[in-house]
Amino acid sequence: MQGMSERQYAAHVGLSRGAIQKAKAAGRLVLHEDGSIDAAASDRLRADATDPSKTRKTAAPKLKSVPEAAVSAVGDTLKEQGMAAPVTGGGTTFLQAKTAHEVLKAQERRIRLAKLKGELVDRDRATSLVFRLAREERDAWVNWPARVAALMAAELTVSCSEAVGHEVTIETAAMQKVLEAHVRAHLEELAQPRIAL
């Protein structure tokens, strides 16, 4: 065989074998004496005879650009695992992206398993529970002076009368006022630390 077979020429030009058979039957291909296709001559003949506006353009596939945030996320994930991370703006290799993807999948599964075991709690729920607990504690402290002021005044009256020899009256309202001032100052001190979850 001097030239190419129909199958070989179809692969050479990127067309189907049926299209090559039609072109051969229409006389748009140059053939050798043995019936095989002269590739170089047929390519020139096809180029001259083909209307450029009717040819299919095989454009390179358009690749979407990867957002910089995604590239930096890959880098962060690799750094967390102690692996070499790409420089921002530099090219991330497919292997690095695939590794980061697998690491993230493993982390996600570990978190899901910890949730199922009850080792993790929902952040919003924990925050609201801590807030509610702190509010209850604060309310208990705010109400405490009113509950104990009378008791403390009675105890102080007894101890003062023993020490001085005559009864000293301590007013409950005055005791409550002083206690409330001290409790509020103490609560302001307690309000300083902030919980960061």
- Per-residue model confidence as pLDDT tens digits over 150-181: 777 777 776 666 666 666 667 777 777 878 88
Domain hosting 15: range is 6-49
Q: What average pLDDT does the segment 20-43 reach? A: 89
Residue 151 falls inside a structural domain: yes
> Is residue 12 situated within a structural domain?
yes
Classify residue 155: in a domain, yes or no: yes
Q: Is pLDDT of 59 > 70?
A: no
Q: What is the pTM of this model?
A: 0.33
> Domain for residue 34, yes or no?
yes
Considering the domain architecture, whether residues 136 and 159 belong to the same structural domain is answered as yes
**For residue 184, how many other CB atoms are within 10 A of its CB?**
13
What is the domain count for the chain? 3
User: Is residue 197, in this structure, part of any structural domain at all?
Assistant: no
Sign of the alpha-carbon dihedral angle for 122, 123, 127, 130:
positive
Q: Is the pLDDT of residue 71 over 70?
A: no
Answer yes or no: do 102 and 147 share one domain: no
The answer to whether residue 60 is domain-embedded is no
Asked if residue 35 is part of any domain, the answer here is yes
**Most confidently predicted of 14-18, 107-111, 123-127, 156-160:** 14-18
Domain shared by 107 and 74, yes or no = yes
For residue 192, what are its two tokens?
């300083």
Q: Are residues 113 and 135 in the same domain?
A: no
Residue 28 banded pLDDT, cuts 50, 70, 90: confident
Q: For residues 113 and 142, state if they share a domain.
A: no
Q: Which amino acid is at 57?
A: K
Instruction: Report DSSP letters for 57-113, one per residue.
Output: P-PPPPPPPPPHHHHHHHHHHHHHTT---PPTTSPPPHHHHHHHHHHHHHHHHHHHH
Same domain, 79 and 109: yes
CA distance 74 to 91: 11
186 and 140, same structural domain? yes
Structure confidence at residue 8 (pLDDT): 92
What's the whole-number mean pLDDT along residues 8-36? Answer: 89
Provide the CB-side half-sphere exposure for 5 (13 A, CA).
Answer: 3
In a domain, 78, yes or no: yes
DSSP assignments along 12-31, one per residue: HHT--HHHHHHHHHTT-S-B
Residue 158: predicted pLDDT: 64
Angle at 145 between CA 141 and CA 149, to 5 degrees: 155
Q: Which helix (H) or strand (E) holds 153?
A: helix 123-164
Contact 9, 24 (CB under 8 A): no
